[in-house]
Amino acid sequence: MSVPNFLHVMANGDIWHSIDQDFTPSGTTLAVFRVCPEGKTQKIGTISGNSGSYAVSGATGRRGNDIT
């Protein structure tokens, strides 16, 4: 069984990677993607905006959307 990966997209533009589903970076989280390591190549979302004001489409929730 493979371990899922989590991508946390933050309001300040930072993107964090973790394999710990309970990891929560400090700051405002805009989106979380839960990515299966065996997943296919695909677009998972879009980040738009300017420094300090970003928006993300494609994922919501603490555990994130499953990307398979």
Q: In what order do the strands lie in the sheet with 65-67?
A: 15-18, 5-10, 29-35, 65-67
DSSP, res 34: E
Rounded CA-CA distance 17/33 in Å is 10
Rounded CA-CA distance 60/68 in Å is 16
pTM of the model: 0.73
- Residue 17's pLDDT is what? 93
- Give me the residue spans of the domains in the chain: 5-67
Tell me if 60 sits within 8 A of 28, measured CB to CB. Answer: no
What would the pLDDT profile of 1-25 be if each residue is shown by its tens digit?
Answer: 678 888 888 888 899 999 987 888 9
Look up tokens 């390591």; give the residue.
37
